[in-house]
């Protein structure tokens, strides 16, 4: 069968690669047209038709990329018609993918959405579009299915969270510290995310903590998929960057500063104390405040419905407040680890990629 699969960012590329591998195990004649990154290209065995690296943006920075995204949408729509897949698989990246879902529906294609729009965060405005344009929603958050179902959308299933198997299956490098020439001081891990604009806004605040915590070494979780010059320009000589070794870094760190996103959940699965930070363009934040309906931004806090992970958002995200928060976490008085146990229980042990692949392949009409 023919699968048309779209992922718009680094995390979607990783999840898409796992999903593709599982689809290929079920459907030995599977053929793919894809928008993704290096992980999906490797899983398919040929380059993606569109490189998702040019699609990442954050908040108001969309204005800088709207023409590029519009051209990419036109390209994807044209190729959808010519490729004529058995199913369209959309992964996260809702602004772009919901437009593609509407186009696919108008042209009679079956649509599956893996990691759907977070309508529980922004209000149910998009639910009508999902009901109209999406045949099947595959969720990786245990509370999400009930939210959709309570609002009349029942073609949704919780398939498990891919981070559970990813973390459990990772073999920690016992020589990580020596391999990266780190010293004997305890480590504060800095996880600034995967979007260029996000890193430019948040990483300077993170590395500034080196001035306050000289008894610790600050280490950045970098990505080789991004320009190394980005990290070089933003990090002083006192802060080291390690590339594509995030889990090994998390495993040896004492505490982490994390840009809001899935890394918060990964840290929880490693039992690592953390503070979550978020900072965007002031205009984007103004509009977000108008539409966001949730009390917390950390996934850990959303799971347990209380503020166990400190969140420093926008104007609260300052060097001084981050220093005070880290000092508290390093004192060992945090109650985060008890919340992490609750998170593990809620996530369960389902293999998300396997379950999602089964749902997609068996539902093709």
Domain hosting 329: range is 176-347
Residue 216, in any domain of the structure: yes
The answer to whether residues 217 and 330 belong to one domain is yes
Residue 99, in any domain of the structure: yes
Residue 72, in any domain of the structure: yes
The answer to whether residues 100 and 230 belong to one domain is no
Q: For the ranges 5-14, 58-67, 167-176, 254-263, which has the lowest average pLDDT?
A: 58-67
Rounded to 10 degrees, the C-alpha dihedral 160/292/320/227 comes to 60
What is the C-alpha separation between 171 and 28, in angstroms, rounded? Answer: 29
The answer to whether residues 49 and 194 belong to one domain is no
The answer to whether residues 294 and 354 belong to one domain is no
Q: Tokens 């430019």 — which residue?
A: 200
The answer to whether residues 110 and 129 belong to one domain is yes
Q: Give all strands (DSSP E) within the chain, no chain letters.
A: 2-7, 31-36, 50-51, 87-91, 111-114, 136-139, 156-158, 187-191, 217-222, 240-243, 255-259, 274-278, 311-313
> For 151-188, how does the pLDDT look when each residue is reduced to its tens digit (9 = 90+)?
999 999 999 999 999 999 999 999 999 999 999 999 99
> For 172-230, how does the pLDDT look when each residue is reduced to its tens digit (9 = 90+)?
999 999 999 999 999 999 999 988 888 999 999 999 999 999 999 999 999 998 999 99
Residue 57 pLDDT grade (very low, low, confident, very high; cuts 50, 70, 90): low
The answer to whether residues 70 and 150 belong to one domain is yes
The answer to whether residues 151 and 189 belong to one domain is no
What is the C-alpha separation between 15 and 163, in angstroms, rounded? Answer: 9
Other Cβ atoms less than 10 A from the Cβ of 83: the count is 17
Residue 166, in any domain of the structure: no
The answer to whether residues 237 and 261 belong to one domain is yes
The answer to whether residues 131 and 202 belong to one domain is no
Inter-residue contact 264 to 302 (CB < 8 Å): no
What is the C-alpha separation between 190 and 169, in angstroms, rounded? Answer: 23
pLDDT at 126: 85
**pLDDT above 70 for 56:** no
Inter-residue contact 354 to 127 (CB < 8 Å): no
Residue 165, in any domain of the structure: no
Query: Over the range 239-257, which residues count as b (16 or more CB within 10 Å of their CB) and which as e?
Result: bbbbeebbbbbbbbbbbbb
Q: Tokens 């503070």 — which residue?
A: 275
Query: Residue 272's closest CA among 316, 226, 326, 319?
Result: 326
Residue 168, in any domain of the structure: no
What is the C-alpha separation between 291 and 25, in angstroms, rounded? Answer: 41
Residue 64 pLDDT grade (very low, low, confident, very high; cuts 50, 70, 90): low
Q: Give all strands (DSSP E) within 30-135, no chain letters.
A: 31-36, 50-51, 87-91, 111-114
Query: Residue 239's closest CA among 212, 275, 270?
Result: 212
Other Cβ atoms less than 10 A from the Cβ of 315: the count is 10
Residue 215, in any domain of the structure: yes
Contacts of 169 (CB under 8 A, 6+ apart): none
**pLDDT above 80 for 291:** no
The answer to whether residues 89 and 114 belong to one domain is yes
CATH number at residue 182: 3.40.50.2000
Residue 170, in any domain of the structure: no
pLDDT at 165: 92
pLDDT at 31: 97
Inter-residue contact 127 to 154 (CB < 8 Å): no
pLDDT at 30: 97
The answer to whether residues 13 and 105 belong to one domain is yes
Number of domains into which the chain is organized: 2
Question: Can you read off the two tokens belonging to residue 60?
Answer: 């108001």
Residue 10 pLDDT grade (very low, low, confident, very high; cuts 50, 70, 90): confident
What is the C-alpha separation between 133 and 140, in angstroms, rounded? Answer: 20
What is the C-alpha separation between 146 and 123, in angstroms, rounded? Answer: 15
Other Cβ atoms less than 10 A from the Cβ of 32: the count is 23
What is the C-alpha separation between 324 and 293, in angstroms, rounded? Answer: 28
The answer to whether residues 24 and 47 belong to one domain is yes
Query: Residue 216's closest CA among 246, 255, 243, 177?
Result: 255
What is the C-alpha separation between 23 and 32, in angstroms, rounded? Answer: 10
């Amino acid at each position: 069968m023919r699968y048309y699969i779209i992922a718009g960012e680094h995390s979607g590329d990783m999840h898409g690669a796992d999903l593709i591998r599982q689809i290929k195990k079920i459907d030995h004649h599977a053929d793919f047209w894809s928008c993704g990154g290096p992980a999906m290209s490797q899983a398919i065995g040929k380059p993606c038709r569109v490189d998702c690296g040019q699609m990442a943006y954050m908040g108001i920075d969309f204005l800088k990329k709207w023409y590029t995204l519009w051209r990419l949408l036109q390209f994807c729509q044209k190729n959808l018609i010519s490729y004529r897949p058995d199913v369209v698989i959309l992964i996260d990246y809702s602004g772009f993918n919901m437009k593609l879902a509407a186009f696919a529906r108008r042209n009679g294609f079956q649509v599956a959405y893996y990691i759907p729009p977070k309508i529980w965060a922004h209000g149910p405005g998009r639910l009508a579009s999902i009901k109209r344009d999406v045949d099947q929603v595959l969720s990786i958050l245990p509370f999400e299915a009930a939210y959709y179902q309570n609002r009349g959308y029942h073609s949704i299933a919780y398939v498990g969270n891919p981070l559970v198997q990813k973390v459990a299956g990772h073999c920690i490098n016992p020589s990580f510290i020596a391999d990266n020439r780190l010293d004997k001081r305890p480590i504060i891990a800095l996880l600034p995310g995967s979007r260029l604009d996000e890193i430019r806004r948040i990483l300077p605040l993170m590395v500034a903590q080196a001035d306050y915590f000289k008894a610790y070494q600050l280490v950045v979780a970098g990505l080789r998929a991004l320009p190394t010059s980005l990290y070089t320009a933003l990090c002083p000589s006192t802060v080291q960057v390690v590339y594509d070794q995030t889990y090994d870094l998390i495993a040896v760190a004492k505490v982490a500063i994390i840009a809001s996103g899935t890394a918060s959940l990964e840290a929880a699965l490693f039992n690592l104390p953390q503070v979550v930070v978020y900072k965007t363009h002031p205009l984007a934040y103004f509009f977000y405040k108008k539409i966001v309906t949730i009390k917390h931004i950390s996934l850990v806090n959303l799971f347990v419905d209380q503020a166990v992970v400190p969140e420093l958002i926008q104007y609260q995200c300052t060097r001084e407040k981050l220093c005070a928060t880290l000092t508290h976490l390093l004192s060992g008085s945090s109650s985060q680890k008890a919340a992490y146990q609750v998170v593990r229980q809620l996530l369960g042990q389902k293999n998300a990629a396997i379950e999602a692949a089964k749902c997609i392949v068996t539902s093709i009409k």
